Amino acid sequence: MRLTVLGCRAGMPADGQASSGYLLETATTRLLLDCGPGIATALSSVTEPASLDGIVISHFHSDHCYDLLPIGKSLLSGLAHEPGATVETIRRNGFTPVRLYVPRGSGDLFARWAGLFPVHTFPLLDQAFEIAFDVREYEPGETHVVGDLSVAMHETRHAIPNCGVRIESATATFAYTGDTGTTPALHDLAEDADLLLTEATLAEPEVGDHGHLSGADAGVIAAKAGVGRLVLTHFAVADERSLEHLRASAAESYEGPIALAAPGVRFDIG
């Protein structure tokens, strides 16, 4: 299993870095985890969107899902420009939509979203969520199979519903938090994972209840869960001193290897 960081910024893209997005690959399966602003471009430098076996969205804050629409339109762009193309001809010619796993309740959001940017001369491009994606709404606690991967959804604590994702192959276990504050649910998500990819948005532990982690929180979680490697991500800033503070704070509790996510960095898992 291999993880490629496409973007790692909290909130909007900054300093030339995209927001949240991570590509997880095995020999036979490609899975995109989250899809914030800038990820459509970053993904296109690594692989074609049509090569994806699935996309998993942890929650519906824009820095984790905003680029779904451009990815959907890119999946349809060549087909939509064919003379006389219709939904029926696209499906008859063997087009396979990409599975899209999203929190329950996405239908109205997707309809309003696509309707904001109509392309009247190529109306198929306005149906990305109906044609380009095979939308599958999930509930916390469910497990789905994507290729050779088992994908389990773990509810965590955030301002809106968020699920962390625990992904297992025959040889490795990977866990990703999405956005979350401290919660006992993170132990089940991360327990004995070969690699834990966790947000570390805050320099110090959270005072309010929005639901974010600090570097110190991430270290405690990784240590208690017994993970093999810790990767910090979802950074509010990019300066080296601040990032080193996050890493050092995590190292106060976790004695294993700690890495900082950065665009284009890859991690072999297992």
Q: How does residue 82 score in pLDDT terms, banded at 50, 70 and 90?
A: low
- The confidence score (pLDDT) of residue 13 equals 96
Smallest CA-to-CA distance from 227 within 183, 199, 188 is with: 188
- The confidence score (pLDDT) of residue 138 equals 98
CA–CA separation, 250 and 255 (whole Å): 9
- The confidence score (pLDDT) of residue 18 equals 98
Mean pLDDT of the chain: 94
pLDDT in tens, 142-191: 999 999 999 999 999 999 999 999 999 999 999 999 999 999 999 999 99
pLDDT at 243 over 70: yes
Domains of the chain: 2-264 (3.60.15.10)
